[in-house]
Chain A
Amino acid sequence: MKNQPEEDVFSDRLDLDLWVRVFRHALPYKRLLIRLAISAVVIAMVDASFALVTRWAVDDVVATETGLNLWPYMLTYGFLSITLSAGVWVFINAAGGLSNNMSHDIREGCFKHIQKLEFAYFDHRPTGWLISRLTSDCDKLARIIAWGTLDLVWATCLVVMISIVLLVLKPLLGLLVLSVVPPLILISMFFQKKLLLSSRDTRKFNSMITASFDEALQGLRTSKVLVREEANLDEFGGLSSRMYRSSMQNALQSAVYMPIVLTLGSIAAGIALWRGGSDVMTGVLTLGTLVAFIFYAGQFFNPINQIAQVLIQLQGAQAAGERVLSLLATVPGISDSDEVKTKIESWENQHNRPEGRALDGGEREIKTLEFLDVDFSYSDGEPILKDFSLTVKSGETIALVGASGGGKSTIVNLAARFYEPTGGAILVNGKDLRERSLAWYQSNLGIVLQGPHLFSGSVRENIRYGRLEATDLEVEAAAQQVNADPFIRNLEEGYETDVGEGGNRLSTGQKQLISFARALLARPRIFIMDEATSSIDTETEQLIQEGLQTIFEGRISFVIAHRLSTIRTADRICVIEKGQILESGTHEELLTLQGHYHALYTHQFTQQQEARLFAEVKQENP
């Protein structure tokens, strides 16, 4: 039904435009880039010079009878050594600095951007997918930009330098030795590509294995209870074997690649020895030059291997680049329009701001919320709401009841502006919601959901999430109001107790109480409860119920609940089915209507009546 998370696709050609765009993220660090390039060139030059010093010294010592002054050679050598190691120091710092800063920046950019994207964006993108974008993709891009640039510049320089030296020393022999370079490049590219593909397979299986571990841990109890440990292990074993096979393939490819490349290197050395040897005998070539040639022949492999690797990696990382850039380029579907942005700006620049205004200069208080002929469908096209209309005034509590899938949650999601209507409009104080600031509107919301989500941190921090500037006393007062205070005080460290990852050290009911306190602390104008009481036991619910009345007071409240006790007190109850309001009115009105609500409500009543009957029968016949 939904798209599989995309796998890396290997692109056959380099998308230069893409890399230019990725490269832009390196521009703030121009100085590092320059240092990187310079140090790479210097290192390549020094690397190529060592063999020349050797040749120079060897030739001179062979020519001189005795008492050769070694100092000039040694000083040159020492100078080159220190230059090289200084260059290495500079390039590691520059490349590493660039890589780390870039991945930091891209990651931050992505995270910031994700905060702005609308809900619909996340409907089709699993959490794990987004996490990989922010972690491995960012690192991959930054690494290839920094170290890739370095390798490319250094290796190219080195190859060019060596070629020049060889051709200058002995053009014909140089050409002969250099003839192994083109096949070396081709073979390297071929194998590097193979290696990249097989290592990608391995990584794919690795992420499947990660998912499998995650599932094993999440479903631990279920697996134990179903006695599925061995079946799970069998499935996992299949997966780890597939990973083994692809990893083996990768290892074998590189086991074949290395000998081939080494052979090519020895062919170059062989040519030097054979042809160069003849030249030495005829006196055309010095012994030192021959030694230098053989050295150089062995020096090609490394830089060419590097060049091939970088080129292939660039092709391989293209998919990661595209994903990250497209994430950054996604236009948030729900955000302030340009008009609203202008309003916010002009309000900020205004000197004496009248009281009671919001940050966009509009009314601060929310008095009414109105659904006007709202249509809505999720991206898969199935319509959820059609011509839905509803007006709610401040102080009113609306209960939404009806079978699941009828559109209740959609209504509150729209009221929270998590989604926007595909037709019609939602009006706040008679004005289209889209003409008001999103931040202002959403800061007026208080929401308690069915599956309460807490962040790791203390109980206190979690409640304070509702209003960051709240004092400790206010936090505790909110907890008291929803009757969460007693259980919190009973925790090991009271309000300072760490709730664990996702709040998993607390029971669902306890989490829910905390999320109630959190919502209350926010002093919302619009309060939304989506199945919030279904996971709390009756007694706790009754406790909350008392607190709820004060929460509802003076606010616009939407309540979705199965429990009649929660619903009964609502000012208006709407029975929702297939995106339509079937019935609406107070509890009493709807009961007299003898319709859907009546059926729903009397169901539990009859059950209880039956039970009482059974009880009486049992008492009569002990």
Chain B
Amino acid sequence: MNSTPSKQAQPALPAIQSPQSPQSLLWLLMRGFRGKYGWAIAALFVFTAINYLTPLIASATIDFALSEQPDDGLLTATIIGLMGGAAFVRAHLWFPALLMVSLTIVAGGFSYLKGRFAAQASDGIARKLKNRLYDHLQRLPAKYHDRAETGDLIQRCTSDVETLRMALASQVVDISNALLLLLTALPIMVMLDGRMTLVSFALILPIIFFGYYYVGKVKHLFRGVDEAEGQVTRVVQENLAGLRVVRAFARQDYEIAKFAEPNQLYRDRSLRLLRLMSWYWSSSDLIVIFQQGIVLFTGIYFISEGTLTVGTLFAFIMFLNMLLWPVRQMGRTLTDLGKSFVALTRMGEILSEPEESVPANPVLPEGPVAGRLEVKNLAFGHQEGEQTIRDISFTVEPGKTLAIVGPSGSGKSVLMHLLLRLYDYSSGSIQLDGHELADLDRQWLRAQFSVVMQEPFLYSKTVGENIHLARHHAAEDEISEAARLAEIHETIQGFPSGYSTPVGERGVTLSGGQRQRVALARALLQETPILLLDDALSAVDSETEASILKALRDRHGRRTTLVIAHRLSTLAHADHVIVLEDGRITQRGTHSELIAEEGLYSRLWKIQNADEGERTQKP
């Protein structure tokens, strides 16, 4: 038996405390990838710088080689000088052309580097984030999952991460790019012509503000569309899950009407978003074109006055196009950024949920665990002020069997959850071999139990793997032995690929009773000191149940066993029985004592044994 506490997995990220702003969460997530972003931005900077140079070559060629402007000692004149002078260029026009192409190729190399680094960073963050979310979800208390909606959680962990990844891949770099462009373009433009520079920036600020304003307006619309889409998926999912019920009541039309509502909502919300988008795109396009027009016509006016050259105008138009592209994208960039902030907030909500608490100074019991359980004055409520169970006290000596009987909702399963510390008890005490459960490492504690639940969960692996995962180094014959004990071996052998048959949608569909028996085999393979059976054989027919229980008794004399059961006949061998009613113990004793006693147990016994009276009259 492995009794070393499992190592506390190193969280990939520092713990995320109470909800924080998406910006700081983002910064936190970028830890370890900030360097990559640095390289990506550096590569982009070089790319941009070269891209500025390229139109200048054409501009210089046009002005000095083709239209024979006098050398004014300015930037383009310097460039033509570097290319060997106007006369040389005029004689070898292929030279500036080749230079342009070569520069583009060099720039391409840097563009590749930028793409590579940015992808490494964004995909790396997304991978880390997904792993982190998965890890965190597993460590959140069962109480959290009782209330959370599966579909919503999955959406947050998959599509929200994807939204963020896309923003990280392009937006972070794009925004830096826009800023760099601005910072580098500005001095060059001023050097070329101060007046034209002023004119070029006339409408840039309005465009950015307009984009920002628009993003503020549509943010909630995006969320609305996502929600509506989620509703569509939910209705479809429910409809398919409840297919039999729908058919059984011939409720197809009702379901179609039920589906029409979210389906329409989804469409209408998307259309509303679209209408806003169309206004935004068309008017921002208009502003951008006006900006280009202003530059063009002011430039032409200056040319006609003789204060500007055609080449410089050409350079300005090219610069403006380069600048306008990111500015034009600004609306989308900010929108995507807004979406990714929404996604970040949603993920942050999950990540800031406290994980299952870890004891301050965990006790590490030495040596083998005997399996003595002592419960004293235990009370628990799902909510403040509510008491689902109260005043529970009992002791189970090592190797003994305790049976728990009670109507549904009386707190039996809650009690099991408390023993496994899936729920945290608020008052009273539970001790395992004299150690308070709250002081023990949860994972260590759970490793002392084998559990079979009423609706057992099987992983989408093969049947064999589902049993095997209980104990990794179990040999094959141990697995089949466990399956034999749980009376499922024959059934498994009858499957098309035996133990290698996958379970679930891709493989066999097991009946409730078969699932319970596979889960039992899994639990039997774990050699733990304590066995918990939470109504574990309810779907197995009584004949099989009896023979399984008998086999268990023959084999597991030494295990501490807790059984929740409905069929009292199966409890005859229990050392002790407690009866739970409305969260309290109302009766305790052995099976035979309880039969003799007036109370729920004997009433149940009579109900289940009504057959007997009749039968004794028969023969």
Interfacial residues of chain B within 244-269, with CB under 8 A of chain A in the complex = 244-252, 254-256, 259-260, 263-264, 266-267
Chain B residues within 8 Å of A256, by CB? 112
Chain A residues within 8 Å of B274, by CB? 92-93, 96-97, 100
Is there a chain A Cβ closer than 8 Å to B190's Cβ? no
Known: A100-B267, A218-B457. A260 touches B108 (CB 8 A): yes
Interfacial residues of chain A within 13-40, with CB under 8 A of chain B in the complex = none
Is there a chain A Cβ closer than 8 Å to B607's Cβ? yes
CA distance A360 to B259 in the complex (A): 27
Is A591 within 8 A of B293, CB to CB?
A: no
Is there a chain A Cβ closer than 8 Å to B470's Cβ? yes
Known: A262-B107, A531-B539. A442 touches B248 (CB 8 A): yes
Chain B residues within 8 Å of A600, by CB? 543
Is there a chain A Cβ closer than 8 Å to B436's Cβ? no
Is B158 within 8 A of A206, CB to CB?
A: yes
Spot the interface stretch: B31-39, B88-96, B331-339, B425-433. B88-96
Is there a chain B Cβ closer than 8 Å to A588's Cβ? yes
Report the minimal beta-carbon distance from A418 to chain B, rounded to whole angstroms.
6
Known: A111-B256, A131-B233. A217 touches B98 (CB 8 A): no
Is there a chain A Cβ closer than 8 Å to B153's Cβ? yes
Chain B residues within 8 Å of A277, by CB? 61-62, 65-66, 93, 96-97
Q: Mark A274-310, 1 if CB is under 8 A from B, else 0.
A: 1001101100000100110010000000000000000
CA distance A340 to B7 in the complex (A): 68
Q: Which of B264, B317, B610 contacts A54 (CB 8 A)?
A: B317
Chain A residues within 8 Å of B413, by CB? 507
Chain A residues within 8 Å of B264, by CB? 104
Report the minimal beta-carbon distance from A482 to chain B, rounded to whole angstroms.
14
Chain A residues within 8 Å of B135, by CB? 229, 233
Known: A84-B289, A614-B572, A615-B595. A122 touches B240 (CB 8 A): yes
Interfacial residues of chain B within 301-323, with CB under 8 A of chain A in the complex = 301, 303-306, 310, 313-314, 317
Q: Which of A62, A515, A564, A615 contacts B310 (CB 8 A)?
A: A62
Known: A222-B453, A251-B123, A258-B108. A217 touches B150 (CB 8 A): yes
Is there a chain A Cβ closer than 8 Å to B422's Cβ? yes
CA distance A508 to B566 in the complex (A): 14
How many residues of chain B are within 8 Å of chain A by beta carbon? 177
Interfacial residues of chain B within 579-619, with CB under 8 A of chain A in the complex = 590-592, 595, 600, 603-604, 607-612, 615, 618
Known: A224-B138, A233-B138. A115 touches B256 (CB 8 A): yes
Excluding A70-B300, A101-B267, 18 further A-B contacts by CB distance (< 8 Å) are A58-B300, A213-B154, A224-B422, A227-B443, A240-B127, A243-B127, A244-B126, A266-B54, A271-B97, A291-B314, A454-B242, A456-B234, A515-B245, A535-B538, A537-B406, A538-B567, A542-B607, A591-B615
Known: A256-B112, A588-B618. A605 touches B612 (CB 8 A): yes
Q: Would you list 12 pairs from A and B whose C-beta atoms are within 8 A, ordered by A residue?
A: A100-B274, A119-B243, A217-B150, A229-B138, A247-B126, A255-B114, A273-B97, A442-B247, A447-B245, A453-B245, A456-B238, A534-B539
Report the minimal beta-carbon distance from B533 to chain A, rounded to whole angstroms.
13
Report the number of A-B residue pairs with Cβ-Cβ less than 8 Å. Answer: 470
Known: A258-B111, A418-B247. A66 touches B285 (CB 8 A): no
Chain A residues within 8 Å of B297, by CB? 57, 70, 73-74, 77
Is A96 within 8 A of B277, CB to CB?
A: yes
Is B66 within 8 A of A280, CB to CB?
A: yes
Is there a chain A Cβ closer than 8 Å to B555's Cβ? no
Is B512 within 8 A of A443, CB to CB?
A: no
Is there a chain B Cβ closer than 8 Å to A78's Cβ? yes
CA distance A267 to B611 in the complex (A): 95
Interfacial residues of chain B within 484-538, with CB under 8 A of chain A in the complex = 495-497, 501, 505-508, 511-514, 522, 526, 538
Is there a chain A Cβ closer than 8 Å to B204's Cβ? no
Q: Is the interface of B mostly helix, strand, loop or mixed?
A: helix
Interfacial residues of chain B within 99-115, with CB under 8 A of chain A in the complex = 100-101, 103-105, 107-109, 111-112, 114-115
Is there a chain B Cβ closer than 8 Å to A211's Cβ? yes
Is there a chain A Cβ closer than 8 Å to B387's Cβ? no
Q: Is the interface of A mostly helix, strand, loop or mixed?
A: helix
CA distance A267 to B100 in the complex (A): 8
Chain A residues within 8 Å of B137, by CB? 213, 216-217, 220
Q: Which of A96, A131, A213, A619 contacts B240 (CB 8 A)?
A: A131
Is A244 within 8 A of B123, CB to CB?
A: yes
Is A231 within 8 A of B469, CB to CB?
A: yes
CA distance A548 to B165 in the complex (A): 57
CA distance A141 to B293 in the complex (A): 39
Is there a chain B Cβ closer than 8 Å to A455's Cβ? yes
Interfacial residues of chain A within 413-438, with CB under 8 A of chain B in the complex = 416, 418
Known: A81-B293, A206-B158. A263 touches B101 (CB 8 A): yes
Known: A127-B237, A604-B569. A225 touches B120 (CB 8 A): no
Report the minimal beta-carbon distance from B508 to chain A, rounded to whole angstroms.
6
Is there a chain B Cβ closer than 8 Å to A226's Cβ? yes
Chain B, residue nearest A91 (CB): B278
